[in-house]
Amino acid sequence: MWSNAMMVCKGMAPYGAVALGEIDLVGERLRGRQGEPEAWGIEWELLAARLEKLADEAASKNQHHSAGNYYLRAGNYFYTGERFIPPGEKKLDMYQRALRCSKEGLKRRHPKIEFVEVPYDGTSLPAYFLPAERLDSRDLAKAPTIVVFDGMDNCKEMSVLFAGLEFSKRGFNTLAIDGPGQGESLRNRKIYARPDFELAGTAAYEFVAKRPDVDPSRVAVMGYSFGGYYAPRVAFFEKRYAACICLGALHWNLHAWQSQIKAQLKSDPKKSAQSNFQFQWILGLTDSDEALEKAKLFSLDGIAQSLTCPILITHGENDRVVPVAAAHKLFEMVASKNKTLKIFTFEETGAEHCQVDNRQYGIDFIADWVSENI
């Protein structure tokens, strides 16, 4: 668990959202505490709280650029520490601090990001909209747009940076959104994960399509990690999306994967990248057997075979969360004539889960593909 989460945190370094020296300090403190599950949250909170204090002090002196940097790093560290804390008051408190710091950092360091609400099923989903940079005076008002949904353990505060910043520079808008069972939607609004995720996908499409700066004929849906299930499903049911991007495929048989995780956690928790509560928690359940039964509903079988829009699937050959075979399976099943599979090798880097070992490399590849296909 810890090594995978540490790599996810390090993956935010190119975007000024973490500092490798600070991460290494936490790693050294955790090295001798691997038999203490609660140590993970304690050490990350200590670091995050120190930076949060520095950020508040800098903000009080109107040193807003420095404050923004401190806030962004504090937000990422609070969120990293929150990951393995079981659902409850402590977990929610850590998340609120993560969200507050992240928003304060984004406002100061990336003021073009809009904090928006996407109407959905009688309520709304929280999101960030980052407009495209206008590359020259001939650019049209309407730009292509990428709707980015999270994975099981991630949040829009990450994707608006690791994907949105690069997409903006390429002339694309980005809507980074916490869908059902993700980030703020799960924690603050108790909007739980659902297999028919296309409802959230349609809500996101209709939101961006109404904007005057969006070309509604050039909107792509992207999902990463668990979003490798969500994005193809959304693209199949919501035909107005022009393309689909899977930043990492998901297991073809989710029930089998969750059964394996349950067995791993029982025999040796260190072999699993996921906690013993994560999947059932995003479903709003407390019983693991009930969650396992519901996992059978999360399937692309019968959907991928009829998906015809352009699709890109990226995956790492050394992915230890979702084996690379899952990407080959999805690619084989997809019916689209315009389909691309990119496997990042160990030698070129980007070979870990969703390219967390070289996020920039993965996102550059995706952005180039988007430029050529939508």
* pLDDT value for 141: 81
Domains of the chain, with CATH numbers? 1-110 (1.20.1440.110), 112-252+299-373 (3.40.50.1820)
pLDDT digit of tens for each residue in the chain (374 aa)?
888 899 999 999 999 999 999 999 999 999 999 889 899 999 999 999 999 999 999 999 999 999 999 999 999 999 999 999 999 999 999 999 999 999 999 999 999 999 999 999 999 999 999 999 976 655 568 999 999 999 998 999 999 999 999 999 999 999 999 999 999 999 999 999 999 999 999 999 999 999 999 999 999 999 999 999 999 999 999 999 999 999 999 988 888 777 776 666 666 666 665 567 888 999 999 988 898 899 899 999 999 999 999 999 999 999 998 999 999 999 999 999 999 999 999 999 999 999 999 999 999 999 999 999 99
Note the pLDDT of residue 288: 83
Q: What is residue 36's predicted lDDT score, i.e. its pLDDT?
A: 92
pLDDT tens per residue, range 27-46? 999 999 988 989 999 999 99
Q: Give the span between the Cα atoms of 212 and 276, in whole angstroms.
A: 44
Instruction: Spell out the SS3 assignment of 277-300.
Output: CHHHHHCCCCCHHHHHHHHCCCCC
Q: How far, in Å, CA of 224 to CA of 227, rounded?
A: 4
Q: Which amino acid, residue 189? A: R
All residues at 6 or more sequence positions from 57 whose CB lies less than 8 Å from its CB, including other chains: none
Q: Where are the beta strands (DSSP E) in the chain?
A: 114-120, 123-130, 143-149, 173-177, 214-224, 243-247, 311-316, 339-344
What is the 8-class DSSP label of residue 132? P
* Spatial separation of the C-alpha atoms in residues 30 and 24, rounded to whole Å: 10
